Amino acid sequence: MLPLDIFLSAMANGLMMGAVYALVALGLTLVYGVLHIINFAHGATLTAAMYAVYVAHAALGVDPYLALPGLAAIFFALGYMVQRWVIGPASHGDDSNILLVTLGLSIIMENALLAGFRSDTRSIDVPYGFSVVEVGNLFLSTPKLVAFAGSFVVAALLWLLLARTDTGRAIRAVAKEKTGAALVGVRVEHIYAVTFGLGAACLAVAACLLMPTFLVNPRIGNAFVLVAFTIVVLGGMGSIPGALIGGLFVGVVESLSGLYLGESLGQIGIFLIFILVLLARPTGLFGARA
Partner 1 sequence: MRSSYLPIAIAVAVLAVLPLGTSSNTTLNFLSFALIVALAAQGWNILGGYGGQFSFGHAAFFGTGAYGMALLQVRFGINPWLALPLATLMGAAVGAAIGALSFRARLRGSYFALVTLAFAEVFRILANAWGFTGGAAGVLVPLRIEAANMQFADRATFYWLVLACVAAGLVLTQAMARARFGAWLVAVRENEEAARALGVDSLAVKLRAITLSSGITALAGGLYAQKFLYLDAGIAYGSWISVEALLAPIIGGLGTVFGPLVGALVLLGLGEATKIALGHALGGAVPGVDLVVFGVLLILCVAFAPRGLLGLGANVRRLLRRPV
* Backbone φ and ψ of 7, nearest 5°: -60, -45
Rounded Cα–Cα distance for residues 158 and 196 (Å):
13
- The only residue of 164, 275, 288, 289 in contact with partner 1, by rule CB under 8 A: 275
Rounded Cα–Cα distance for residues 40 and 11 (Å):
30
- Site mask for partner 1 (CB under 8 A), range 7-36, x = bound: ------------------------------
Rounded Cα–Cα distance for residues 254 and 270 (Å):
6
- The only residue of 126, 188, 278, 285 in contact with partner 1, by rule CB under 8 A: 278
| Span near partner 1 by CB under 8 A; candidates 12-20, 156-164, 221-229, 251-259 | 221-229
Burial (Cβ within 10 Å: 0-12, 13-18, ≥19) of residue 7: middle
State which of positions 174-213 bind partner 1 (CB under 8 A): none
Burial (Cβ within 10 Å: 0-12, 13-18, ≥19) of residue 138: middle
- The only residue of 111, 121, 137, 165 in contact with partner 1, by rule CB under 8 A: 111
- The only residue of 188, 226, 256, 259 in contact with partner 1, by rule CB under 8 A: 226
- Site mask for partner 1 (CB under 8 A), range 59-88, x = bound: ---------------------------x--
The verdict on 288 binding partner 1 (CB under 8 A) reads: no
**Closest listed residue to residue 13, CA positions, set 288, 257, 286, 206:** 257
Count other C-beta atoms under 10 Å from residue 242's C-beta.
24
Q: Closer to partner 1 by CB, 66 or 268: give it.
A: 268
Q: Closer to partner 1 by CB, 13 or 217: give it.
A: 217
Q: Closer to partner 1 by CB, 112 or 149: give it.
A: 112
- The only residue of 106, 141, 217, 239 in contact with partner 1, by rule CB under 8 A: 106
Q: Closer to partner 1 by CB, 119 or 179: give it.
A: 119
Angle at 28 between CA 25 and CA 29, to 5 degrees: 85
Q: Closer to partner 1 by CB, 73 or 265: give it.
A: 265
**Closest listed residue to residue 241, CA positions, set 42, 25, 31:** 25
Rounded Cα–Cα distance for residues 271 and 276 (Å):
8
Distance of closest approach, residue 263 Cβ to partner 1, in angstroms: 9
Contacting residues for 257 by C-beta, under 8 A, at least 6 apart: 265, 266, 267, 268, 269, 270
Q: How many residues does the chain have?
A: 290
The verdict on 126 binding partner 1 (CB under 8 A) reads: no
Rounded Cα–Cα distance for residues 128 and 23 (Å):
22
The verdict on 89 binding partner 1 (CB under 8 A) reads: yes
Contact residues toward partner 1 (CB under 8 A) are: 37-38, 86, 89-92, 95-97, 99-101, 103-108, 110-115, 118-119, 218, 222, 226, 229-230, 233, 262, 264-265, 267-268, 271-272, 274-275, 278-280, 282
